[in-house]
Structures are given as C-alpha cells and as structure tokens.
Amino acid sequence: MSDPLERSVDVVIPFRDWDDWTAECVRAALEMNPPCRHVSLVPDTALGPEAWEAIRRMPGAERVREWPSGPVNPGRKRNLAMDRSEDDLFGFVDSDARVWPDWLARALPHFEDPAVAIVGGPNLTPPEDDVRQQACGDVMASPMGMGAAYLRHVAVSRRDVDELPTCNLLARNQPGFRFRPELDTSEDMTFCALARERGGRIVYDPQVGVWHHRRRLGRAFWRQFHEYGIYQGRRASWRWLWRAAPFTLLLYAIVLPVFCFLAPRWWPAWCMPPALYAAAVAAESLRQSRARRGWFWTLLAFPVAHAAYGTGYARGLLIGGLGAR
C-alpha cells in the first residue's frame, strides 16, 4: 500500500484582493509538513509586484501559482482552480484562515479509505484576535449561537458528519465533483451533499484544524449571520423547524408590545420568555468567555447574531417559500 502522505495536494485559496491575512494564509500553507505540491491563489485580478515580492520571501514560494478569475463568487473561483489541477486532492482554506502545521499529516491518512470523499475539522478563533472578534467566535462555538453547526468551531471527537465548511476542507479530485457556480453562499453545503449522493463519507477530525480570524462585532458580523439566515430560510421545511428558532424569537419581540397593550395585567407572563432568554444568554456568555475580559461583548454578540439570522430567515422565506429546499 502506498504512503498516504505521498498524495499530491493543491491548496486552493480564493480571495478578492491581497492583504495581510492572505499573506499569513499562504505562508502557513507553504510551511506545512509534509508539504503540499501546489498553492493555487485565485484573486479577482492578477497580483501586483508587492504581493509577489512578499510571496518570494516565503519558503517554498516556487509552489505558488495564481489563476485570476475576475469578480466572481468563491464557488466559481474554486472550480477554476480545480479544473486546472492534476493533483490527487484539493485542500480548501479561506484567505482569512491559516492551517495548522500538521494539517496534511493529520488529514491524508483518512483518504486511504476509498469511501472517504471529504475530510475536515474545526476552524478555531486565533488567540491574537481582539475582544470583539473573540466575542463573535464565542457565538460561533456555542450551540446557542450556531445550533448543530457549532461543531465546526470547536474540537470534538472524530466522527462522520453531513457537512463541513470550505474554510477547512480537503476533497478528492474527481470528475464532476465541483461547486455549484450559481450559489454565492452555502456552496460548501451543496458540495458536501454531492459527496453524499455519490456515496462518499465526510470525516470530521479534531486534529485537522485551522485558525480562522473572526469578523469583528458590528456590520460585518451582522451581514455574516444575516446571510446564514437567508440560506436557511430559503431551504426551510417542517423537518428543520428548529432552525427557525431565532426567527420565532424575533417575531415574539415584535408582538410583545401588542400583548402587553391588549392584556396589561398579564405582562409578567408575556415578559417571561424574554427574561429566560436573557438569563440563558448571560450564562452561555459567561461559559464561553471564561476568564477573558470579553463577557460584555459576548453578551452583546448573541442577540446581534440572533436578530441578524432572524431577519435573514424571514427574507429567505420570502424568496424560497416554506417547504423549499
């Protein structure tokens, strides 16, 4: 049997413009042991001399290549690189993330099983992120913030899963195994669904990790969770009704003043659900932030995430309709 570490890997990094986080991402990809064969950069436009000067100072820079794609979505960028590669495996990582040094050493042995189509692991908040980024990472690492998808952001035991994000994902190079180019978001979910349709396993390994910089609490964080909500609203069905929980909470907050006005004597009962929610958020914020001085920001991040998701879910329902997939 051949050594699994001898499989050739093309690390694909889609992005718009070169920045410090992209440089950090490329350097980490080049410093892995064992090394990848290629690092394929897919920017909107060709990199300038300053970017290439920074790359040439990195060890293993000769393995870097670029495929300018124009201003297209990440799925199209990844497909472009995949169509031009002859490597055995693809390693996908976001430009604001950096792989662990043993990323390939931990992931490649899984592909000795021919049934394994995709391997990935957690994407964790880097310790150097500031307090407002750490707060957003706390929300993403919590079942109260991300539901079942919180497993993407914490290290749990090895297991087979249905979905993994493309910020930390390795996949076989197979004909027709591509991203849906029309999707601007959640293309990773349909990519994983295609793997399952083909009979492939998706393996989560806590040792196959990346550090993933978080969006700072504010407009960028709101937009991220709003987009999550849109996707889930578009594919809403009674089978996944639990995913509508933030939307239901938002509706209750909207009608609460009406209840209190129509039946003011019952205001303690009407206010009980929000009080329980506030207590749960406070407890979970304390658990997530632990000894850091970020409890207040985590406490604020939870309702921001839920409101953003809830409004996005409502928008998704209008686009897709209840029962759409």
Q: How does pLDDT run along the chain (325 residues), one tens digit per residue?
A: 455 567 899 999 999 999 999 999 999 999 999 999 999 999 999 999 999 999 999 999 999 999 999 999 999 999 999 999 999 999 999 999 999 999 999 999 999 999 999 999 999 999 999 999 999 999 999 999 988 888 889 999 999 999 999 999 999 999 999 999 988 777 898 999 999 999 999 999 999 999 999 999 999 999 999 988 888 888 776 666 667 788 888 887 888 888 777 888 877 887 888 899 999 999 999 988 875 667 899 999 999 999 999 999 989 888 775 444 4
Q: Token digits for 243? A: 């995913």
Phi/psi for 13 (5° steps) reads -125, 100
Cα dihedral 257→259→261→264 (10° resolution): -120
Q: pLDDT tens across 260-311, in order?
A: 778 888 778 878 888 999 999 999 999 888 756 678 999 999 999 999 999 9
pLDDT of residue 1: 41
145 near 302, Cβ under 8 Å?
yes
User: Residue 236 region, left (φ>0) first, then alpha (ψ -120 to 50), else beta?
Assistant: beta
Rounded Cα–Cα distance for residues 292 and 301 (Å): 15
- In order of their start, the domains of the chain are 4-121+164-212 (3.90.550.10), 219-320 (no CATH)
Rounded Cα–Cα distance for residues 309 and 307 (Å): 5
Q: Token match 């472009």: residue?
A: 80
CB contact burial 17-29 (16+ within 10 A = b; e otherwise): ebeeebbbbbbbb
Question: How many Cα atoms occupy the beta-carbon half-sphere of 304 within 13 Å?
Answer: 22
Indicate the burial class of 159 (C-beta count within 10 angstroms; 0-12, 13-18, 19 or more): exposed
- Strands in the chain per DSSP E: 9-14, 38-42, 64-66, 89-93, 97-99, 116-120, 123-124, 159-160, 168-172, 201-204, 210-212
Angle between helices 295-320 and 131-140 (to 10 degrees): 50
Rounded Cα–Cα distance for residues 55 and 66 (Å): 11
246 near 313, Cβ under 8 Å?
yes
Rounded Cα–Cα distance for residues 131 and 296 (Å): 10
30 near 58, Cβ under 8 Å?
yes
95 near 21, Cβ under 8 Å?
yes
∠ Cα 225 230 233 (to 5°): 120
